Structure 1
Amino acid sequence: MLIARSVAAIAAILLLLAGCAGSGKDKDETSGWSAEKIYTEARGAMSDGAWDKAIKLFEKLESRYPYGRYAQQAQLEEAYAYYKQDETTSAVAACDRFMKLHPNHPSVDYAYYLKGLANFNEDLGLFGNLTNQDQSERDPKAARESFNAFKDLVAKFPNSKYSPDAVARMVYLNNFLAAHDVHVAKYYYRRGAYIAAANRAEQSIKQYPNAPATEEALILMVRSYDALGIKDLRDDALRVLKKNFPKTDYATKVLETEEPWWKLW
């Protein structure tokens, strides 16, 4: 009986000590804070570049005070914090969530812009600058998503203060995506897949008009149709090439020489 009581007493003391030790460690300093207080602290963390801390505070704000202007703003600020922390997937997801929950919010145009910006930097940012890889050789998935986000922004909010920058980035992305399609078309051509090469070059011209890569896409179409022996389509493509790029070296050489096609490009 005495031993049992001693064991029980020791167990109680150990539990008490464990509780005391953990109480300080697990204590949430934000307990009892108002929505405004949490938001202010989160904004302060963002000003200090403490993005992870800011994200956690915004999450607590949404959890404790899910309704009201602070919760709505927290969702948008959280997306920006993810963006600054280079967590593209989370940033895009947060933007999509905000747009779905608050389609009429005064700042919803910023959500579209931020989504486009996150994908823009994901595909065309630091990694590309640190390598010698041709940007047009990279997977354009993020670039397409960025273009579509900016396109939605400009279409839905033409007077937004973010629209001019979005338009400028769309021009860049349009050229980038066109160059990528031409790169793929050249890959097909060099392997003798002439139909695939012609189709991909034509796709580039239709989807990304006025891009610098259009000239090369037309050249690819001329060469591919010639290799296939489809002279009417070859001549049509050559006619379009000469009309739109009258000073192109390629069109000039085609008219002035009988050299084989592969020596002219």
Structure 2
Amino acid sequence: MRSSLPASKFRAGLVLATVAVSVLTIPACSGGAKRTRLAYEERPVEALYNTGYQRLNSRRWADAIDYFQEVERQHPYSEWSRRAILMQIYAYYQNNNYAEAISAADRFIQLFPGNPSAPYAFYMKALCNFEQITDVGRDQSYAQQALTGLRDVSRRYPGSSYATDAAVKINMVNDQLAGKEMAIGRYYQRAGQPLAAINRYKSVIDNQDYQRTSHTPEALYRLVEVNLTLGLRDEANRNGSVLGFNYPGSPWYAEAYALLSEEGQQLEVAPTGQRESWLRRIIPG
């Protein structure tokens, strides 16, 4: 996600360091900081690759990509070409060229599906989508693609460092998607469409992946609110009881308890937490 970009970039660099890459000591090619397309000139593969690697270490991502592409073009069936694709994935990613990084990862997976570095390519595909996730007020297609990719990494490479990091990010993406459902539900509730709001809140409660997110207590509280609006006191009381049983210390339960008490309903479990401020209830988070 955008907010985790710097740390993720750092982690991606650490991950890349685990990919076996041999580098020969060759003087760097001269050239200024301004990027120019490389003219075709047949050169030793080691010279091309290592110049690209030096550009990578200098954080000249676009220049590095040019040299690694030249390795592929001039020596497409060599071991250097395989390494060059991996380096392009990383350089594109660092340069925020996510679509190009995904394309390079797809190319590596297609050409070398059984290679020991294939997990890195799968992981980087998922990471590129993950870092393009936007706030819940916008389209969540990147979140869906990231979730698919991260699950794929976990399924293919269980027990790996990639799977470990994917598991953390899967929880974050699920929280994001649940947050999107809540945002839509609150919109429908404010718009006087209680049935549509109920469907959104229930999707958070019924979805096993969303049940473990931070949005579940609020979803239960909102169901109490909406059901009371519809005059469905028994249903409101049931949702309040579920909220109290699972989250007795949540401020959302304190709110539900007070709301139901005002309506003459009595819940068995007394809240152990404090009520939310009115502003936080209107604008969660």
Asked if 2 retains the 8 angstrom alpha-carbon contact of 1:35 and 1:70, the reply is: yes
Within 5 Å, give how 1:15-94 maps onto structure 2.
Answer: 31-94=41-104
- Counterparts of 2:73 and 2:198, CA distance in 1: 54
Structure-2 separation of matches of 1:27 and 1:50: 14
Conserved in 2, the CA contact under 8 Å of 1:219 and 1:238?
Answer: yes
**Aligned counterpart, 1:162:** 162
Identity of aligned residues (%): 30
Deviations 1:125-155 (A, max 9, x none): xxxxxxxxxx333432222322322221112
Point out the more displaced range, 160-169 or 38-47: 160-169
C-alpha deviation, 1:185, in angstroms? 1.0
TM (normalized to structure 2)? 0.70
Aligned to 1:171: 171
TM-score normalised over the length of structure 1:
0.75
* Structure with greater proportional helix content: 1
| Matched length | 227
Instruction: Give the Cα–Cα distance (whole angstroms) in 1 for the partners of residues 70 and 176 of structure 2.
Output: 40
* 1:257 to 1:165, Cα distance in 2 relative to 1, 3 A: same
Could you tell me how far apart the structure 1 residues matched to 2:201 and 2:243 are?
A: 13
- 8 Å CA contact 2:140, 2:177 repeated in 1: yes
DSSP 3-state at the match of 2:136: helix
Displacement of 1:53 in angstroms is: 1.1
Q: 1:116·1:150 contact (CA, 8 Å) conserved in 2?
A: yes
Which residue is 2:124 aligned to? 114
1:227 and 1:103 map into 2 onto residues whose CA distance is: 56
Counterparts of residues 210-249 of structure 1 (less than 5 Å)? 210-230=212-232, 233-247=235-249, 248-249=253-254
Opposite residue 263 of structure 2, the aligned amino acid is: E
- In 1, the alpha carbon distance for the partners of 2:188 and 2:226 equals 10
On the 8 A contact 1:61/1:71 being kept in 2, the answer is: yes
**Superposed CA RMSD:** 2.7
Structure 2 vs 1, CA of residues 255 and 220 (structure 1 numbering), >3 Å: closer, same or farther?
A: closer
Mapped partners of 2:121, 2:165: distance in 1: 14
Q: How far apart in 2 are the matches of 1:251 and 1:45?
A: 59
Local SS of the residue matching 2:131: helix
Name stretches of at least 5 consecutive residues in structure 1 with no aligned partner. 1-25, 125-134
Structure 1 residues 111 and 27: alpha-carbon distance in aligned structure 2, compared to 1, 3 A threshold: closer
Q: Deviations over 1:77-119 (max 9, x none)?
A: 1111111111111112222232233221101111122122222
C-alpha displacement of 1:217: 1.2
- Once residues 69 and 236 of structure 1 are traced to their aligned partners in structure 2, the CA distance between those partners, rounded to angstroms, is 64
1:57 Cα deviation after fit: 1.6
SS in 2 for 1:148: helix
Change (3 A) 1:228 1:255: closer
**Residue in 1 that maps onto 2:268:** none
Q: Residue 172 of structure 2 aligns to which amino acid in structure 1?
A: Y
Gap runs ≥5 in structure 2: 1-35, 265-277
Q: Distance in 2 between matches of 1:215 and 1:249?
A: 11
What is residue 149 of structure 2 aligned with on the other side? 149
SS in 2 for 1:123: coil
